[in-house]
């Protein structure tokens, strides 16, 4: 299957079967989403959603978060992965928002990645979800699913190379939702250790499935 045809089939399947796809992180404004995405690094959205309500309540603005300490924030987020580092990042992020961005979450990639705890993936999530830009955030799910389906070649070994390949082939107006399609598919179907191939609607267009189960065009023909 040619790459253009694979993309067309995969996108068509998602459009028909997953017409609505969005972040599962809970938030009420850009500042809260930024907090949630920083906390979600190597941590489940479910866990993040469990701990953020008290954090949002007690630190509702960048100013309030900027005036506390990492030690205080640690007590709110101690159940997430790497709580010490993330506590420092959150307080540092808030201080920079106040000092350099008039307490507003910036919308440009170069500005976002200046914030403590914000890498390219996090910045792209904010650009896509908050500012509706055509930004493709590549996390572990997107990275894995893109390779398994065959949307990106094996030579794409970094998140940035996967991002560039996906953006090159996915129509700009669909990049935002495509990010969520791939994340949710990886989270619930194309899981890392035990992919649920038997219930996956992408079987016949998936490189991993066809190679694993030796599926060929001839084997799909009716006798």
Q: How far is CA 157 from CA 21, 102, 144, 150, 187, in A?
A: 26, 38, 11, 13, 20
d(CA 115, CA 93): 5
Tokens of 100: 């350099």
Q: For this structure, is 121 an active site residue?
A: yes
Catalytic residue among 108, 114, 139, 173: 139
Q: For this structure, is 154 an active site residue?
A: no
* H/E element, 221: none
Catalytic residue among 100, 121, 133, 173: 121
Q: How far is CA 206 from CA 16, 30, 42, 62, in A?
A: 17, 35, 26, 44
Interhelix angle 140-149/159-169, rounded to 10 degrees, is: 60
Residue bearing tokens 């403590």: 116
Cβ atoms within 10 A of the Cβ of 221, count?
Answer: 7
* Tally of CA atoms within 13 A in the half-sphere of 143 that contains its CB: 12
Which residues are the active-site residues? 121, 139
């Amino acid at each position: 299957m040619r790459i253009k045809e694979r993309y067309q089939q995969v996108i068509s399947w998602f459009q028909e079967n997953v017409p609505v796809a969005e972040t599962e992180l809970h938030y009420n404004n850009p500042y809260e989403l930024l907090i949630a995405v920083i906390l979600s690094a190597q941590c489940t959205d479910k866990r993040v959603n469990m701990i953020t309500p008290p954090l949002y309540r007690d630190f509702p603005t960048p100013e309030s978060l900027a005036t506390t300490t990492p030690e205080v924030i640690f007590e709110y987020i101690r159940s997430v992965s790497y709580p010490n580092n993330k506590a420092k990042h959150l307080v540092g992020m808030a201080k920079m928002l106040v000092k350099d961005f008039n307490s507003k979450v910036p919308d440009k990639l170069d500005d976002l990645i200046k914030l403590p705890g914000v890498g390219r993936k996090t910045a792209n999530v904010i650009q896509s979800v908050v500012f509706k830009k055509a930004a493709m955030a590549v996390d572990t799910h997107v990275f894995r699913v893109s390779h398994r389906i065959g949307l990106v070649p094996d030579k794409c070994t970094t998140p940035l190379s996967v991002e560039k390949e996906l953006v090159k082939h996915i129509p700009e107006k669909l990049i935002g939702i495509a990010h969520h399609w791939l994340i949710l598919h990886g989270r619930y179907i194309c899981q890392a250790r035990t992919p649920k191939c038997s219930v996956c609607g992408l079987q016949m267009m998936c490189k991993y499935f066809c190679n694993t189960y030796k599926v060929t065009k001839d084997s799909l023909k009716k006798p």
